[in-house]
Structure 1
Amino acid sequence: MAISVDASAQRLECLSTPSGVSVSIIICTYNRAAGLRKTLDALAKVRIRSEWKAELILVDNASTDNTAMVARSATLPKIEVRYLYEPKQGLSYARNAALAQARGDVILFTDDDVLPAEDWVEHLVSALVTDTCDAVTGQFTPARHLLRPWLTPIHRWWLADSDAAKPRDGVRELLGGNMGFRRSVLGRVGAFGFADDTLFGWQLARAGYRIQYVPAARVIHQFDVSRLQRTHWLSAARERGRTGAYLRYHWEHADIPFPRLMWLWYFMKLRVRRVLQRPQPLESEGCPLWEMSYVRNMEMCSQFCLERQRPRNYSRHGLTKRSLSCARNTTTDRVQLPLTMHNTQAQYDHLFETEHLREQLMDKAVRGGLSIMTAQGASLLLRTGSMLILARLLMPEHFGLIGMVTAITTIAERFKDLGLSTVTVQQNKITHEQVSALFWINLGFGTLLMAIISTLAWVIAGFFGDDRLVGITLAISSSFFLGGLTVQHEALLRRQMRFGKLAWIQVVAEGLSLALGIGLAWQGFEYWSLVWKEVARSTFVAAGTWLTCRWWPGLPARATGLGRMLRFGRDISGFNLVTFLSQNLDGILLGKFWGAGPLGFYRQARQMISMLQGQLHFPVDVVAYPTLSALQNDPAKYSTYLRNIVSVLAFAVMPLVTYLAIFSDTLVRVLLGEKWMASALIFRILALAALLWPPASTRHLVLITCGKTVRNFWYSVMSALLLTLAFSIGTFWGPIGVATAYTITAYVWILPSLWYCLRDTPVSIRGILRAVCVPALCSFVMGLLLLLASPELSKLGSLEIPLSLGLAVLSYFGVWLLFPGGMRTLTEYFTYPLLSLRGRVGSDRVGARVHSDTSL
């Protein structure tokens, strides 16, 4: 913020006589009405010479208490009181707003929690009107009744105690609660900014201005006692460390390459060290000193920025990379950092151990599922809203171009982890060294895939016959590298059943990327808006995952048991690869033989189905995999829990898909617009296949959690061969033929695949079918009623959707209640999640009740 001052004031000047001095006293306040009132009472007793013209500017920095009333009603003898409101919170904003309104030749600053002495103004102004200095700072003394015997000089220095800081003439730092300067210095020094009064004092010194310490100008600091708590010291340590790195590197050493990035890098490195290494507090005279160790490390970090030749010479500062514990020197007040080794595995036990999760496994799973469903609901709203907007801003051809590339590069989502994320979740025991090794394998493979896909960009463009695909492929290939960065962090969060955090990371990333995509589409970037939306989503997911999972991988090294884990991951990645090739073959064939337009219609219809399944597939995968993995040694509980999952999925999925299939024309018209009506029939056909998803989802789930990865691979091979044959035949009839072939194959393959996958496991086909029979029958009856009523409902215009939804709900639940135990089952479905959130039920008791009801 620039401060405009009079041109005549932009030079060094000496006020030879105090007779014509005008003084501006500035107090910035925020939610300290009581403290401000005491400060104003003390200022009323301050002596102001009759020949001086004094004003007091009270800056209200968007306070929410009665600060404004106290400030507006303030009256002081010989001082004009002015009230200023600054809506943008921040001390520097408030101070700059006051400087812009100040009229005095001399500007003094104090705080709303200090009591100035009667001669405070006189001493500061007298020093400034002579030719000995251009800025002054006075004595700042904490109230003695607030001090504690365990406060060290470092603590008192943080409280701005002048006795501990030992200020002297020529210092560069000013004390914001007791300082002043001539207005003329604003001609060569900018306004307040980052680091506030500290940086302002450094800028004055660098500009050649003289700063003088005036001990006679005293103020008493009546600080809040909450500043003596541990949380405040830790907060002060972080802020001072960041400020120190900024002042010592970014501001003063701007000639070093990348100054604006390096100070932030070193600050973040110390934040990571703070998280990864947690030394025990060392009590000395009743004072915990570990927070001082942290700020000391922050100061060391800013000094490392100056080591251009030896940036990692820790020993020069008496510090090692593994040192963070703190001890007190018995002869001096200096904080020392002895060399202390910490057990890395012990630091991450809370991420690797799962024994503590078994006690309330069902409750944790349900709570996690509810959190995920809430987040997925928000994600569904975001995607639906973006679909409404993007479908009207872009053409089907634009979506088709993205579909051509993503039909190949979507492998990043399936193949980026090499199956190693499932390894981390499924293993009973795992170590830091093993997870670190898996992390570097994922990152290296993701980087390799990015390079390969980037190299093949021109091949992909030649295959589809469109040069625009080169740039699209190069941009989207970055998702491979970003995906490799997050695999193990996401796996650790799933292992600890922190499902809600994972879900909300996806929601936030989805929201931010959708906003970017819509903004770019609005500005006319066409298909590039979809490209950058995908790249931004991967970036936001990576950033959110690393910030949430406080785990830092070790250096690349061999770990025991790694070969077995890689073989496990090999089978899973083989399944993912085969499944990916088969499921994305439809887009490749349609793009090759029918072009971008028909592919765009097919892709939008399939995306709506995938979005619906993804909202339910994601919580099931995230919750069910770690839960079933924990129950793999208890067949009875395993079988019960899996049947409960299938029953709940069928209860939710089957009626919803039935309704959407019947009213697909209305759905596409509302969501996408009239130009997309060709997608309606495709959506209806694909929705018929989605009815089988609840029982079909058990195949891969059971094989992985039971450790039968070889059988899972061969199941995927057989499924891929059938889908390849179906897609190849359906391509002759375009998008409609492909969708029909997929649906027919799904119904033909469901029973043979269940028999092959579930044999020799705790789950039987009969149990799965019994779990879905009631939802299937209720959905069938509901569908018949909706088909009969749809001709009449279509005549009602805007009332069609609400009335049809009401009819669907009444018919579905009405038929459900006709079955024996139907009311009891519905009660369990709706009440157990609420009771679980309140912690009022036990997993075994409710699990048994749900199982008995779903056996209908």
Structure 2
Amino acid sequence: MPPREPLPASPPGIGPHSPGGDRAGLGKRAAKAAGQTVWTQGLRILLQLGNVVVLARLLDDRAYGVVGMVTAVVGVAAIFQDFGLSTAAIQGRTLSHGQRSNLWWINTAAGLVLTGLGVAIAPLLAGFYHEPAVAGVCAAIAPTFLMAGMVNQYRADLNRKLLVGRALTVDLTAAAAALALGALTATWGWSYWALVVQRIVTALVPFICLPIIAGWLPRWYDRREPMRALLGFGVQMAGTQMVSYLASNLDSILMGRLFGAGTLGLYNRAVQTLRTPLNQFRPQVTTLGLSVVAKLQDDDERTLAYLRRGQLALGYPVFLTMGIVVAAAPAVVSVVLGDHWLSVVPYMRLVAVGEGLTTLSMVGGWIYTSRALGRAYLRYTLFSAMIRLAAIIAGAQFGALGVAYAYVASPLILWPVSLLWSGRASGLDTAPLVWNGMRILAVSAAATAAAWGLCAVVPVASAVLACLVAVAGMCLAMALLWLVLPVVRSDMRDLATMGRMMLRR
């Protein structure tokens, strides 16, 4: 990209013209940022799980279904209020203060427009779903688009500087406040409005805190600043994100339209119980990965080495955790949601597999964005959306559970395609990443089968003990694979090395 000047506040060694020795410090800064990501997001995941456990016992499936109907559709507004400009700001080699201010004004204007549109379409959305409650929920959520638009560039600025700990601390505070107020209002009998309160609080806390922490205010919009490259890349990313979002949420949209709020509420509990904690982890790892890989654009060997380790850091934790869910799904549902949600179990197992497979393809997105391959990324996303659309439409013919099976089928097909397609577009040899992913998948599947078998043969007196048996089975299986397979030992050494680096920094 051709911005004019380096960002004045960039940490030493991050700019593209830094001395060669500074690149050696990039790994240390990345490890420090990764360590901050792990502990803050770990706490946030605990808060989110606490939120799921508490509210599942206070709200019914219709409450989740009503809010799910709204978020499945209007969630696409989050893409347009950002317009891909946060990614453009992080990806660019340099960024002037004037460009950063211009991006802020564009994001703010987009957030304001989307807030107005959210209020305007509220009655139309209620008519589409045949659910009057949807109108009020949609109008209440709409102002969060403006708040998010006004803080996107502050968040991008902190991520660009690898100061992710500050932004994550704000998110952690927002999650704690949302949990407290959501639980309180649910106790008061507010039903789905308790979930609306949580969404508003989650947007309001960063709106107040991030500008203070980032320590800068936007200037007036300056037409003299070179914006074409940033906006061009942002438009391509926005198109990609929009198509990806619609493809990822088509299952919920069709579920709500065809089978009603109750069925969508069951499916939504399975999706949100797993996706919510994963979405505290995966996007932050992705942002960190993009921040680092964008600084290695001229070094293919180091880029591929980082991508391989990033894939390990994403793949094994997610797959092994999802494997425990698959192995002990009834117990997990009983502990997390309560016994009255046991009808969620089939959805929970399928969603767990789908989320794991989706994770394997995320590294391909790092390549597209770090190398500014917006058009290639959009072409791949359109292709993947057509595959998902075909799978979900076919699955819907067999009922709600058929949609859940389609949720698994499409990423199973797409994850290796995504890596090979990104390699062809970037000129990187991504075939080793495909083999890397296949090994993660095979090892995790073997450990999951062992954990499931142990759960089936060991009698337990409570759901908590059943979960512990699944964890023990997973650990024993991984220990055995570590002893038998040198490649597993190599993977675990790489993960341990990354862990030590994060703990030391």
Task: Please report the TM-score for the alignment, with normalisation by the length of structure 1.
Answer: 0.56
Task: Check 1:347–1:760 CA distance in 2 against 1; reply closer, same or farther (3 A cut).
Answer: closer
In the other structure, the counterpart of 1:257 is: none
Displacement of 1:528 in angstroms is: 0.8
Task: Trace 1:228-627 onto structure 2 (pairs within 5 A).
Answer: 349-351=8-10, 354-355=14-15, 358-627=23-292
Maintained 8 Å contact 1:352/1:429: no
Number of the residue aligned with 1:171: none
Please report how far the alpha carbon of residue 796 of structure 1 lies from its aligned counterpart in structure 2 after TM superposition.
Answer: 3.8
Distance 1:454 1:694 in 2: 34
Contact conserved, 1:591 with 1:599, CA < 8 A, in 2?
Answer: yes
What is residue 812 of structure 1 aligned with on the other side?
478
- Residues 412 and 375 (structure 1), Cα distance of their counterparts in 2 relative to 1, 3 Å cut: farther
Work out the CA distance in 2 between the residues paired with 1:833 and 1:749: 30
The residue that corresponds to 1:800 in the other structure is 466
**C-alpha displacement at 1:382, in angstroms?**
0.8
Structure 1 unaligned spans of 5+? 1-344, 840-856
Deviation at 1:376, TM superposition (A): 1.1
Cα–Cα, structure 1 residues 773 and 727, in superposed 2: closer, same or farther, change >3 Å? Answer: closer
Q: Is structure 2 residue 382 aligned with structure 1 residue 723? A: no
- Alignment partner of 1:700 is 2:365: yes
User: What letter is aligned with 1:465?
Assistant: H
Residue 825 of structure 1 deviates from its aligned partner by 4.7
Superposed, which structure 2 residues align to 1:640-719 within 5 Å?
640-719=305-384
Distance 1:666 1:617 in 2: 25
Q: Conserved in 2, the CA contact under 8 Å of 1:601 and 1:678?
A: yes
Take 1:698 and 1:346, find their aligned partners in 2: how far apart are those partners? 29
Query: Aligned to 2:397, what secondary structure does the other structure show?
Result: helix
Asked whether 1:833 is paired with 2:492, we answer no
Partner AA of 2:299 in structure 1: D
In the alignment, the residues of structure 2 paired with residue 347 and residue 742 of structure 1 have an alpha-carbon distance, to the nearest angstrom, of: 43
SS in 1 for 2:82: coil
Deviations 1:241-293 (A, max 9, x none): xxxxxxxxxxxxxxxxxxxxxxxxxxxxxxxxxxxxxxxxxxxxxxxxxxxxx
Note the alpha carbon deviations across 1:674-727, whole angstroms, 9 max, x for none.
221121101101222233234311222111111110011111111112222222
Distance in structure 2 (CA, Å) of the matches to 1:597 and 1:436: 45
Report the equivalent of 1:252: none
Secondary structure of the corresponding residue to residue 57 of structure 2: helix
- In 2: Cα distance, 1:825 partner to 1:752 partner: 23
Total equivalences in the alignment: 495
Q: CA deviation at 1:824?
A: 5.6
- 8 Å CA contact 2:5–2:94 kept in 1: the answer is no
Paired amino acid for 2:8:
D
- Residue 786 and residue 484 in structure 1: after superposition, are their counterparts in 2 closer, same or farther (change >3 A)? same
Moved more, 467-476 or 800-809: 800-809
Going from structure 1 to structure 2, the CA distance change for 1:646 and 1:514 (only over 3 Å counts) comes to same
Q: Which residue of 2 aligns with 1:743?
A: 408
Per-residue deviation, 1:425: 0.8
Residue in structure 2 matched with residue 771 of structure 1 by the alignment: 436
Structure having the higher helix fraction is 2
Letter in 2 for 1:350: A
The whole-number CA distance in structure 2 between the counterparts of 1:794 and 1:767 is: 42
Q: Distance in 2 between matches of 1:651 and 1:410?
A: 29
Task: Call closer, same or farther: CA 1:360–1:837 in 2, change over 3 Å.
Answer: farther
Q: Give the letter aligned to residue 426 of structure 1.
A: Q
The residue correspondences of 1:212-223 to structure 2 (distance < 5 A) are none
Give the 3-state SS of the residue equivalent to 1:733 in structure 2: coil
Deviations 1:208-262 (A, max 9, x none): xxxxxxxxxxxxxxxxxxxxxxxxxxxxxxxxxxxxxxxxxxxxxxxxxxxxxxx
| 1:365–1:627 CA contact under 8 A, matched in 2 | yes
Q: Supply the distance in 2 between the matched residues of 1:566 and 1:791 (Cα, whole angstroms).
A: 55
- Are the counterparts in 2 of residues 352 and 492 from structure 1 also a CA contact under 8 Å? no
2:410 & 2:498 partners in 1: Cα distance?
37
Identity rate of aligned residues, in percent? 25
User: 1:484, 1:658 → 2: CA distance?
Assistant: 37
Give the partner amino acid of 1:671: V
- What is the identity, as a one-letter code, of the residue corresponding to 2:492? L
1-structure distance, mates of 2:203, 2:252:
22
Contact 2:34 2:502 in 1 (8 A): no
Q: Is the 8 A contact 2:329 2:345 kept in 1?
A: yes
CA contact (8 A) 2:282 2:314 kept: no
Contact 2:29 2:162 in 1 (8 A): yes
Q: Which moved more, 1:742-751 or 1:627-636?
A: 742-751
Question: Are the counterparts in 2 of residues 782 and 812 from structure 1 also a CA contact under 8 Å?
Answer: yes
CA distance in 2, matches of 1:677, 1:833: 36
Q: For residues 436 and 40 of structure 2, what CA distance do their matches in structure 1 show? A: 27
Counterpart amino acid of residue 535 in structure 1: I
The alpha carbon displacement at 1:745 in A equals: 1.7
Give matches, 1:78-227, under 5 Å: none
Query: Aligned partners of 2:46, 2:62: CA distance in 1, in Å?
Result: 25
The structure having more radius of gyration, on CA atoms, is 1
The verdict on how the C-alpha distance between 1:365 and 1:348 changes in structure 2, with shifts beyond 3 A counting, is closer
Contact 2:312 2:495 (C-alpha < 8 Å) held by counterparts: no
Q: Offset at 1:366?
A: 1.6
Give the conservation status (yes or no) of the 8 Å contact 2:326–2:448. Answer: no
Return the alpha-carbon distance in structure 2 between the equivalents of residues 463 and 647 of structure 1: 43
SS at match of 1:629: helix
C-alpha separation between the residues in 2 aligned to 1:760 and 1:529? 45
Shift, 1:614, TM fit: 1.5
Alignment check: 8 A CA contact 1:635 1:762 kept: no
**Matched letter for residue 329 of structure 2:** S
Greater strand content: 1
TM-aligned CA deviation for residue 619 of structure 1: 2.7
- Residue 536 of structure 1: CA displacement? 1.1
Q: Secondary structure at the match of 1:393?
A: coil
* TM-fit CA distance, 1:833: 3.3
Quick one: structure 1 residues 563 and 366, their matched pair in 2 at CA, closer, same or farther if it must change by over 3 Å? same
Moved more, 598-607 or 643-652: 643-652
Deviations 1:175-213 (A, max 9, x none): xxxxxxxxxxxxxxxxxxxxxxxxxxxxxxxxxxxxxxx
Q: Distance in 2 between matches of 1:652 and 1:694?
A: 10
Q: What secondary structure, in the 3-state scheme, does the structure 2 residue paired with 1:490 have?
A: helix
